[in-house]
Amino acid sequence: MFGVDSINTLYGSIKLKLAILTIMTSVIFSFICLFSVKSFVNNYIVSNLGERAKELSSNVVSKLGYSSFEYDSSNALAYSSFNVYKHRLGEIRKTSDLNALYILKETNNKIVYIVSSFDSYKDFYGLGNEIDDEIRQAAEAALLGNEYVSRKPVNVDEEKVILCSCPVYDRSGNLVGAVGMEFGADVIVSLNKKIKGLILFLIPITVGLIAFSFIFLKKSINDITEEVVYTDDLTKLKNRLAYEKAIDDANAMIKKNPIGDPKIGVIIYDLNDLKIVNDTLGHLAGDKYITNSAKIIKNCFEHFGKTYRIGGDEFATIIEDNSPEKISEALSGFEKAQEKYNIENNSRPFIISIAVGYDYFVPGADLNLASVIKRADEKMYKVKKEKKAPYSRSPR
């Protein structure tokens, strides 16, 4: 049988392992939360900018018309309406706080700018110039009929921007080109502010869940440990290990206040003729004797303190109420409970007979519970000898 120290070591090991498991679970949960928030933010940004890009694209078509998507490479700069389109596009760009706004079209197997919100001679944004590689993916997507929003900032002209593009169809449903736009990276900052509150809200919740999980798991560890390690399998009462621990705790309390009145006592029980029952009727009958006796003991004395099975046929209750009158009353009820059981179960091949003795801690005379247990044990054996005669016959 394990000693108390061994059980405490096992208990500590279980606590440590489950504490580590709790921390690992909490960390994993935190990462899941953070990734979920990150995914939510990213999807929110893409969705928000996608809707805004469609609105701006519709606005461009409304103010410039489908004719703005026409392109004559031989006479592009002389195109009569070019400056008008450029001006209108520039107004939309400024009022929409965009870094760039342009109309794109595929011609001669190249994707080129038709109208840009920039000066037509600035770098590669000029009328009819082929687009830059940084925006090619967005342009190709739109010219294939797909809306596009970059999921992270892209470097264009040494500036971080979010690229968006939308396909444009004429009234007949033909794809005539695309509207491309570049949102400054500050858009992401403004959108992140909208979800910052959510992140700040999730952090204390996560911390709270970690703390709650640890507290809950710690309590569960205590419950599981007590249930598995300190419980007698047969009777479901506390076992000898739990009894020894309770005695140690009581002695520690006595040591702190040796001259006080700790109101502690011990009741010792012994089942008469258990060996005869086991030898003649078998251990299943013996187990019945033990479990039914345990129920009677618990029912009669549970309000005085916890009851323990401390041996094969021995039980003990650590008394937490030093009232001899109440104990005497309980002992009388205990004898009646045995008699009642034997009458109601007269078909059983055995009778229940339990010897009992008790004593209290005496401040100034007792140093600990060892002497109290010894006196209670002596009284129990005295009762056992007196009680043995009526039950000395073979069990029924």
Which residue, chain included where needed, has tokens 């419950």?
223
**Tokens of residue 211, six digits:** 């703390």
With the C-alpha atoms ordered 14, 17, 20, 25, is the resulting torsion angle positive or negative? negative
Rounded percentage of the chain residues whose pLDDT exceeds 70: 72
Taken as a whole, the chain contains a residue count of: 396
DSSP helix/strand/coil, 343: helix
105 and 247 inside one domain: no
Is residue 15 a part of any domain in this protein?
Answer: no
pLDDT at residue 326 in the model: 86
Assign 3-class secondary structure to 139-203: HHHHHCCCCEECCCCEEECCEEEEEEEEEEECCCCCEEEEEEEEEECHHHHHHHHHHHHHHHHHH
Please state, in angstroms and rounded to a whole number, the distance separating the CA atoms of residues 57 and 85: 14
Which residue, chain included where needed, has tokens 């264009």?
156
252 and 377 inside one domain: yes
Largest CA distance in the chain: 130
**Tokens of residue 105, six digits:** 């079209």
167 and 266 inside one domain: no
Please state, in angstroms and rounded to a whole number, the distance separating the CA atoms of residues 170 and 276: 104
Is 313 in contact with 290 (CB distance < 8 Å)? yes
22: Cα within 13 Å, side-chain hemisphere: 20
Given a cut of 50, whether residue 1 has pLDDT beyond it is no
Is residue 38 a part of any domain in this protein?
Answer: no
385 and 245 inside one domain: yes
Please state, in angstroms and rounded to a whole number, the distance separating the CA atoms of residues 209 and 33: 12
273 and 350 inside one domain: yes
Is residue 32 a part of any domain in this protein?
Answer: no
Give the contacts of 311 (CB within 8 A, at least 6 positions apart). Answer: 240
pLDDT at residue 396 in the model: 40
The stretch 105-132 carries a mean pLDDT of 73
Is residue 267 a part of any domain in this protein?
Answer: yes
DSSP code at position 231: B
Q: How confident is the model at residue 90 (pLDDT cuts 50, 70, 90)?
A: confident
Given a cut of 70, whether residue 279 has pLDDT beyond it is yes
Domain count, the chain: 2
Q: How confident is the model at residue 312 (pLDDT cuts 50, 70, 90)?
A: very high
DSSP helix/strand/coil, 112: strand
244 and 182 inside one domain: no
Last residue of a domain, one of 186, 219, 248: 186
Is residue 178 a part of any domain in this protein?
Answer: yes
CATH number assigned to the domain comprising residue 339: 3.30.70.270
246 and 325 inside one domain: yes
Q: Which of 10-24, 135-149, 217-231 has the lowest mean pLDDT?
A: 10-24
259 and 152 inside one domain: no
Give the pLDDT confidence of 5-36 residue by residue, as tens digits.
555 555 566 666 666 666 666 666 666 766 67
The alpha-carbon radius of gyration of the chain (Å, integer) is 44
Given a cut of 70, whether residue 282 has pLDDT beyond it is yes
CA distances from 89 to 68, 100, 130 (A): 10, 10, 19
Tell me the whole-structure pTM to 2 decimals: 0.51
* Greatest mean pLDDT range, 89-93, 187-191, 264-268, 362-366: 264-268
DSSP code at position 320: S
Given a cut of 60, whether residue 331 has pLDDT beyond it is yes
List Cβ<8 Å contacts ≥24 apart for 375-379: 376/265, 376/266, 376/267, 376/268, 377/268, 379/268
182 and 246 inside one domain: no
170 and 255 inside one domain: no
Give the contacts of 265 (CB within 8 A, at least 6 positions apart). Answer: 318, 319, 322, 327, 358, 359, 360, 361, 372, 376
The boundaries of the domain holding residue 100 are: 66-186
CATH number assigned to the domain comprising residue 122: 3.30.450.20
260 and 149 inside one domain: no
Is residue 230 a part of any domain in this protein?
Answer: no
288 and 179 inside one domain: no
Q: How confident is the model at residue 369 (pLDDT cuts 50, 70, 90)?
A: very high
